[in-house]
Amino acid sequence: MLKMFKNPNGNIALAMLLVVFGAMSGFTLSSLAMRDAVAFQYDFESVQSMILLRSESFRGQRIAQRLGNIMVPVRTSVRYVPVTNSALKKTFVIQSQLSRGGLVAVDSDVVMGDQKQITQIRSLVKSKTGTGPSVFYSPKFSLIRKYGVYTLESETFAKFMYFTDTDESTNETPVYFYGPDLIYGRVHSNSDIWIKQAGGGSNGGWPTFYGWVTTAGEIQSFSGSYSEQQIFRGGLAEGYPHTIFPEHATTLKTNADRVGPNNDPNLIMMVVVNGSSYSAYLGTIQPPAVDTCGVYNPFPPYNPNTLQYTNRYAVRDTIWSTQPSGTAHNKSKWVDNKLWLMGTFGTYQTWGCADTLWLIGDILLAGTQRGASPLSNPTDVVGLVSEKSIVVKYGYRDPIDSLRYHRNCGPDNNFGGIWIYAAMAALGDGHGNSHADGVFSFEYQHPHPSVPDVIFNNHLYTRIDLHRRRFPPTGANPWPPLIDFPWYNPLWPERRPYLERGFISVYGSISQRRRGFVHRSYNDTEYPSHGVWDQPIDFCGGSSAPYDVEQIDPVLGFQLITRHFDGANGTGTGYKKNYHYDDRFYHTSPIDFPEVSRYNETPYTALHWVIKRPPENL
């Protein structure tokens, strides 16, 4: 080593070697510094892209809220976001595409029925080359790209256990929640909510709300002061924002399969569902035909020569025909006419109609036993929508066997009556006519007895009440207040019609334009009919109480009276409530069910946000 230092050539060689070592070290250190700078820049771009991606997803949600239901894909405008610091300058390029959800579930919490009410926001963030170390690695765009899918579900009225646009009756009188009313689930009214301390229940005569209650108005108490904590156990908010209740089932009509002919007020579609299939029958209401009957005193007459005058009136028969059966497997169905509906429903089904929807029997689920909770049933969900009202039918003549049925009447034990496993929406808007507003209610609210067809002296006598009195009635000859008006009862004439009919049991939700009656007193003190018959405005003769209407037919000798269905008790007419919210509606809705809108915006619930491998472009 000493000889090398003493040798001039060795000194030069050593110097050259040191120069080489120094250069290599410099290049190494420069390379390490460049690598760290590029890595820092990539990390910075990655974090910044993630922040911008999240903000873009929320931007897409705001756009979706403004646009409402997304029918076709929508691209947002491209955003250019410059980011500058002392070391680099970058421009991030951001864009989203909004589209309806696909046919395949995207999450374990999103099931088949949700897909048509899902909006997916696909967002892509890229950064353009600017200044900084990484410009040497890409001629135009950085290698960093971020891509996310933000999945939203539109909020439907199935989220409410009980929604009312106007919390008054069709007679524009307050309808109260009172002692026997136990309401589970979300409740909202766009007007004041009335409560009353009356008999029944287990809360000192007050109603009990176990879910959150909101009102755009205030709570009005018919019975003075009350304890908010005692009644509104799930919370109460007064002065809550108004929720727009739609008049038309736009989404449902757009997406649903048509059942039956085009819109005709003289047509009735009767549908009986069995699992995922259904049978259908078409009732055609015939044009009015003039009929006559002689009026006798007495009738049946002992002497045919006692004819006093002849009634002339119009009658309309209904002719039934069989329609093609079909499948409703995970589908929505629309009827342009009146709809009579009952059955056991399998899969996701929503049935809607442009006219009144009449429930002629139970609405059950294939995978849930009658009376049991549907919470553990993941496969069967039902929606019922009417652009007028949804009405529990008193009775009907079956077009198949022509027999008379009271399918919706039952004893109080085991909650006899009608069971409805469905989200219901009655959208009708009377535009100032309260009696034309959509309600969830029941048929034949003021029963009175009438004389049935009988065989007397070996002869069949029909329409006996029409043979005894002037019809149509006049001011000078009004119809008696304690005898049923012809055809007011859908099973007219009926000698002992039913008053109390058991329970309306609901596992689902109820949304309506106006609060519908499900129980009436014998004679409303707040809205008395004064013995007048004018059914369109709810004037239906006199009292329905058995002790008021009871009479012995003067010729035939049998009793005419109103009565409760066997095993049903009470002091009025109609149904008791047995209402439960279907908790499945918190995370799923029936297919194409009406969506909620507030202040011209569509509320959405975020289901999840997923970061995926990015494509080159949207």
Digit-coded pLDDT (tens) for 484-530 = 999 999 999 999 999 999 999 999 999 999 999 999 999 988 888 88
DSSP letters along 287-313, please? PPEEEEEEEESSSS-SSGGGEEEEEEE
- What totals of helices (H) and strands (E) does the chain contain, helices first? 5, 41
191, 539 contact by CB (below 8 A): no
pLDDT at 8: 58
Of residues 422, 424, 288, the one with CA closest to residue 356 = 424
Between CA 145 and CA 25 the distance in angstroms is 35
Q: Which residues contact 105 (CB under 8 A, 6 or more apart)?
A: 111, 112, 114, 115
Q: What tokens appear for 57 in the block?
A: 């997803």
Please tell me whether residue 210 adopts helix, strand or coil conformation: coil
The SS3 of residue 413 is helix
- pLDDT tens digits, residue range 333-387? 999 999 999 999 999 999 999 999 999 999 999 999 999 999 999 999 999 999 9
Strands 331-335 and 257-258: parallel
What is the percentage of the chain residues whose pLDDT exceeds 70?
87
The 10s digit of each residue's pLDDT in 167-213 is: 999 999 988 898 888 888 899 999 999 999 987 778 999 999 998 99
User: What does DSSP assign to residue 351?
Assistant: E
Q: What is the pLDDT of residues 381-402, one digit of tens each?
A: 999 999 999 999 999 999 988 8
Confidence of residue 617 (pLDDT cuts 50, 70, 90): confident
Q: Domain segments of the chain: what residues?
A: 35-155+602-612, 248-586
What sign for the dihedral angle of Cα 485, 487, 489, 491? positive
- Residue 505 CA from chain centroid, whole number: 16
* pLDDT tens, residue by residue, 78-137: 989 888 876 677 888 999 999 876 533 444 443 334 444 678 889 999 887 655 554 444
Full DSSP string of 214-254:
EESS-EEETTS---HHHHBTT-EEESPPP-BPPSS-HHHHH
Q: Which of 132, 104, 174 is nearest to 43 (CA)?
A: 132
Buried-state track 238-251, b at ≥16 Cβ within 10 A, e below 16: eebeebebbeebeb
